[in-house]
């Protein structure tokens, strides 16, 4: 009888375990969501475990059940932001589209990353706070530098493929990739300004579309230019579709 009871208890615990795991995952996600807002703020030093716990509506002890401390929590927020960005970009880079189409679609993917997760965008693209010699060697700074560098090299490989197949004129792939990444961060960052220079979403999209069109007009080879020496109509339409949340074809 005792063995039967133990078997029943063991079976009940096994059934409860997935529910417990899901509950833990939801609690962890809620803590990360709350922490995101603090670490994306202009003064991330104001973030404390107590404030994050209050915002997540959990006990301070609960936060420590999931994270070793503030630094560990900050690292988890940055890692989640980087992974979210990578999913958007790698879906484009790993597609079967021609290289120049990947470059155009990548502009839309990066914009969608910001629009869907502005707080995560702030965390990795507009990292707030003063940078010191110590902070540049911190686990967060090292991980961010390595992951962003990896994504920049992924973009550079697509640019190199486009140069190789003749769709882009000869350019330095890595330098071009770094410029594109910095340019996009700068323009999107205008939508996050707290002052009168802030752009609304429509203005930001328009600025991106105009700027990227100018860039591609200069980058593409003659084979992808129309009668006026600019992007072909097909690529022009694809670019504007990508930056206006339409499915590019």
Task: Parse the chain into domains and list their residue ranges.
Answer: 1-67, 71-242
The fraction of the chain above a pLDDT of 90, given in percent, is: 44
Convert the pLDDT of each residue in 53-105 to its tens digit.
Answer: 998 899 999 989 998 888 888 888 888 888 888 988 999 999 999 999 999 99
What's the fold here for domain 1-67? Answer: Arc Repressor Mutant, subunit A (1.10.10)
User: Residues 217-243: what's their mean pLDDT?
Assistant: 89
Predicted local distance difference test score (pLDDT) of residue 6: 41
Q: Is residue 119 predicted with pLDDT exceeding 90?
A: no
What's the fold here for domain 71-242? Answer: Tetracycline Repressor; domain 2 (1.10.357)
Q: Is residue 5 predicted with pLDDT exceeding 50?
A: no
Domains 1-67 and 71-242 share a fold: no
Predicted local distance difference test score (pLDDT) of residue 221: 93
Predicted local distance difference test score (pLDDT) of residue 168: 96
Give the ranges where 40-69 is alpha helix by DSSP (H): 49-56, 60-66
**249 band by pLDDT with thresholds 50, 70 and 90:** very low
Count of Cβ atoms closer than 10 Å to residue 228 Cβ: 7
Q: Is residue 152 predicted with pLDDT exceeding 50?
A: yes
Question: Higher confidence at residue 160 or residue 72?
Answer: 160
User: Largest Cα–Cα distance of the chain, in whole Å?
Assistant: 88
The angle formed by the CA atoms of residues 94, 95 and 97, to the nearest 5 degrees, is 130
Predicted local distance difference test score (pLDDT) of residue 153: 96
Do the beta carbons of residue 135 and residue 129 sit within 8 Å?
yes
Tokens 């992808």, residue located: 224
Q: Is residue 13 predicted with pLDDT exceeding 60?
A: no
Predicted local distance difference test score (pLDDT) of residue 132: 44
Q: Is residue 169 predicted with pLDDT exceeding 70?
A: yes
Q: Is residue 212 predicted with pLDDT exceeding 80?
A: yes
DSSP H or E segment with residue 158: helix 139-164
**130 band by pLDDT with thresholds 50, 70 and 90:** very low
Convert the pLDDT of each residue in 172-188 to its tens digit.
Answer: 999 999 999 999 999 99
């Amino acid at each position: 009888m005792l063995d039967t009871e133990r078997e029943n208890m063991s079976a009940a615990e096994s059934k409860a375990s997935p529910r417990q795991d899901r509950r833990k995952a939801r609690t962890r996600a809620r803590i990360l969501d709350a922490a995101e807002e603090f670490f994306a703020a202009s003064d991330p030093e104001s973030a404390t475990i107590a404030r994050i716990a209050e915002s997540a509506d959990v006990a301070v002890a609960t936060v420590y059940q999931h994270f070793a401390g503030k630094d560990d929590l900050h690292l988890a927020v940055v890692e989640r932001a980087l992974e979210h960005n990578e999913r958007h970009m790698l879906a484009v880079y790993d597609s079967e589209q021609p290289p120049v189409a990947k470059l155009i679609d990548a502009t839309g993917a990066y914009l969608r990353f910001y629009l869907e997760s502005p707080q995560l965008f702030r965390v990795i693209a507009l990292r707030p706070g003063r940078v010191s010699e110590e902070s540049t060697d911190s686990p967060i700074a090292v991980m961010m530098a390595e992951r962003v560098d990896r994504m920049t090299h992924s973009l550079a490989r697509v640019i190199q493929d486009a140069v190789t197949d003749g769709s882009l004129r000869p350019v330095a792939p890595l330098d071009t990739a770094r410029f594109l990444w910095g340019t996009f961060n700068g323009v999107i960052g205008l939508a996050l300004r707290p002052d009168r220079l802030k752009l609304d979403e429509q203005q930001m999209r328009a600025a991106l579309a105009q700027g990227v069109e100018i860039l591609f007009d200069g980058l593409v080879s003659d084979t992808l230019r129309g009668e006026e020496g600019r992007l072909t109509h097909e690529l022009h339409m694809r670019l504007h579709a990508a930056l206006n949340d339409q499915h590019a074809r």
